[in-house]
Amino acid sequence: MLELLLCSLLTIVPDYLYRRYAQGKRLGREITLYSVWFELRWGITACLMLTVGLITVVFYNHPSTTNATMFFRTVPIISEANGRVAEVNVGFSAEVKQGAPIFRLDSSTQQAAAEAARRKIAETEASMVAAQADVAAAEGKIQEARSAYQQALDELTTKQELNRNNAAIVAARDIERLQNVVDGRRGSVAAATAAKDAAEAQISTLLPAQKASAEAALAQVEVDLAKTVVRAGVDGRVEQFTLRVGDIVNPFMRPAGILIPEGAGRGSIQAGFGQIEAQVMKLGMIAEVTCVSKPWTIIPMVVTGVQDFIAAGQFRGGEQLTDPQQVLRPGTILVTLEPLYEGGLEGVTPGSSCIANAYSSNHDLIASGNVGALRGLALHAVDAVGLVHAAILRMQALLLPIQTLVLGGH
């Protein structure tokens, strides 16, 4: 409508002024409702053509969209294991800090396993004390065996010396018996030494390994026990948290709730512009938005990101071929808008629907001197008609509460 009124000032009004003052035709007499088309046909036709051209230029070079939203990320509250809820630490809606407990699962199984691991460690430590006693006993047996061996060896040496001096004094059978006794007691010394080595090996190798295994099992059980307490991974707010004691939580089928990170959705607006604007949308473009949650306010923005892909064309590799006919709706170009001034989005609720305008600027191209005079004039005109779109956005901001509350029936 605004474009039509603007174009009529350049076409219909001059045509009427010519008819009125040059030809003397007056409204209500020569120019009536039935003759207005014939009398002002040149002005009306030119107005319609100019309006269509102006709308095309405005909407192409200064794109607009109603598909603008402050998207925000949510974090599902999920436990790492199945279980029954034993304790809930937050209400339906609450602020949480990173590391704060949200709910706890029943941990009786993990506590029993932890107690068993502690008992295993205590048992291993007791075995180490017993092994030290075995080492002391083995040392005593070694000393005893060595004494018996030395006594038998001394007796054998004496008998052998007497036998060398006088063969008739000591019988050969006695010397053989003593030799067997010495060999047996030497074996006793070796056996006692081996028993001591075995006890020392238990103290230095076997029992420490068993204790380390028991401590590792305890550490694993303690990790599983810690997983029964679900904590907040980031600072944020828990919303619509309806989990209660006795509920079953399954990480694959039923998340416990949703955590909204602090500051999520408060730094930028994501807008979807038509595919025809792909060659126009550039980084650094100035934009404006007005949002339903903050009526009668125009927020200056700047384009900080233009996605190079359109979501409508994505596909996932599988066993079926992709048919373009399956794309029912054309996708849009995702553009990220950030406030031009600090605090520009204060008061806008995350998730709010917005209307966004982006404005092309050819000032740098014109100032570079690389364009001719005629093209420079055309580019000046393109930049100037951005005022029309800016005026339309302000009219939309003015009428948005009326459309929502009155015409929308809310």
pLDDT digits over 263-276, tens only? 888 889 999 998 88
Domain-embedded: residue 325: no
Residue 255 near residue 230 (C-beta atoms within 8 A): no
Q: Return the pLDDT at 300.
A: 94
Same domain, 149 and 298: no
Q: Return the pLDDT at 193.
A: 76
Domain-embedded: residue 317: no
Q: Binning pLDDT at 50, 70 and 90, where does residue 391 land?
A: confident
Domain-embedded: residue 56: no
Q: What is the mean pLDDT of the chain?
A: 82
Q: How far is CA 131 from CA 10, 122, 128, 274, 313, in A?
A: 109, 14, 5, 81, 73
Rounded Cα gap, residues 101 and 174, in angstroms: 86
Mean pLDDT over 104-110 rounds to 85
Q: Return the pLDDT at 338.
A: 93
Residue 272 near residue 64 (C-beta atoms within 8 A): no
Same domain, 114 and 197: yes
Domain-embedded: residue 4: yes
Same domain, 279 and 359: yes
Domain-embedded: residue 30: yes
Strands 294-306 and 269-273: unpaired
Closest CA to 348 of 278, 276, 280, 290: 290
Q: For residue 338, what are the domain limits?
A: 63-78+263-312+330-405
Same domain, 206 and 182: yes
**Residue 178 pLDDT > 80, yes or no?**
no
Rounded Cα gap, residues 298 and 289, in angstroms: 6
* Percent with pLDDT over 90 in the chain: 10
Residue 214 near residue 120 (C-beta atoms within 8 A): yes
Question: CATH no. for residue 233?
Answer: 2.40.50.100
Mean pLDDT over 369-396 rounds to 84
Q: Which two tokens stand for residue 385?
A: 């008609």
Mean pLDDT over 122-132 rounds to 79
Q: Where are the alpha helices (DSSP H) in 166-206?
A: 172-201
More confident call, 193 vs 48: 48
Q: Return the pLDDT at 170.
A: 57
pLDDT digits over 309-341, tens only? 888 888 877 777 887 877 777 888 999 999 999
**Residue 91 pLDDT > 70, yes or no?**
yes
Domain-embedded: residue 245: yes
Q: Binning pLDDT at 50, 70 and 90, where does residue 206 land?
A: confident
Same domain, 292 and 337: yes
**Residue 302 pLDDT > 80, yes or no?**
yes
Same domain, 218 and 100: no
DSSP string, 51-79: HHHHHHHHHHHS-EEEEEE-----EEE--
Interhelix angle 207-227/108-165, rounded to 10 degrees, is 180
Q: Return the pLDDT at 175.
A: 65
**Residue 409 pLDDT > 70, yes or no?**
no
Q: Binning pLDDT at 50, 70 and 90, where does residue 32 land?
A: confident
Q: Return the pLDDT at 304.
A: 93
Q: How many domains does the chain have?
A: 4
Same domain, 125 and 156: yes
Q: Return the pLDDT at 168.
A: 57
Domain-embedded: residue 233: yes
Same domain, 93 and 137: no
Q: Return the pLDDT at 163.
A: 66
Same domain, 239 and 102: yes
Of the candidate ranges 9-23, 88-102, 171-185, 354-368, the one whose mean pLDDT is the lowest? 171-185
Q: Which two tokens stand for residue 160?
A: 């052998």
Mean pLDDT over 2-17 rounds to 76
Q: Binning pLDDT at 50, 70 and 90, where does residue 167 land?
A: low
- 3-class DSSP state for residue 339? strand
pLDDT digits over 64-73, tens only? 999 999 998 8
Same domain, 116 and 193: yes
